[in-house]
Amino acid sequence: MISSDKIRAKIEKDYNKNPNGWQAYMSNNKGHLDSIFINEDNLYIIKEQIINPFKSIGLGVKRRISFDLKESKQIDFGLRPVNPKLIDNLINNQSESNNLINKILKQKPSAYKNIKTPVMLQGPVNYSSPDIKEIRKNEKDIDSRLRIELQKILDRKYPYISSIYS
């Protein structure tokens, strides 16, 4: 288990090596924000508590996927360059916004260092999908350990957080 900042740095590094085939999931899990990223055989799980609008604290793990995850038909998560002309079209022609966003999402994700446009799109992120429930079911031990360790940190560094929400 490492800090959420360090696991995010690992995700960024691994994403930039290979930006294809990523999936991202987020959900509110018993008061904590869970973020799950999947790529190839790797599973990254982050559990965080929002401290204030500018700060969160959390823990995460990277591990091999230990279960069979059904082939996803979802659009890959990632960064996609956006031509500034597309942004102008989006602003000036809102009725076409879905078509323009779909056009952007059909592009393959790119590594951050390869994006040269002044604007990029990140996503999509799936919120509370059936896939995240399947992942949680198969990774209950990690979820419990992350929750317990995060609670210890919160009790030590931010005791008022627990008293507010308990």
Taking the C-alpha atoms of residue 121 and residue 105, their distance in angstroms, rounded to an integer, is 8
Task: Tell whether the model's pLDDT for residue 165 goes beyond 80.
Answer: no
pLDDT > 70: percent of the chain = 86
Contact 67, 108 (CB under 8 A): no
Contact 117, 164 (CB under 8 A): no
What's the pLDDT tens digit per position in 55-64?
A: 899 999 999 8
On average, the pLDDT of the chain sits at 84
Residue 62 token pair? 């990277």
What's the pLDDT tens digit per position in 92-147?
A: 776 677 777 888 888 899 999 999 988 888 888 877 666 666 776 777 788 889 99
- Tokens 């317990």: give the residue: 148
Residue 117 token pair? 């446009």
pLDDT > 90: percent of the chain = 41
Residue 156 CB neighbours (<10 A)? 8
- Tokens 């929400």: give the residue: 165
Residue 32 CB neighbours (<10 A)? 20
Taking the C-alpha atoms of residue 46 and residue 131, their distance in angstroms, rounded to an integer, is 16
Taking the C-alpha atoms of residue 66 and residue 133, their distance in angstroms, rounded to an integer, is 15
Taking the C-alpha atoms of residue 49 and residue 28, their distance in angstroms, rounded to an integer, is 10
pLDDT band at 72 (very low <50, low <70, confident <90, very high): low
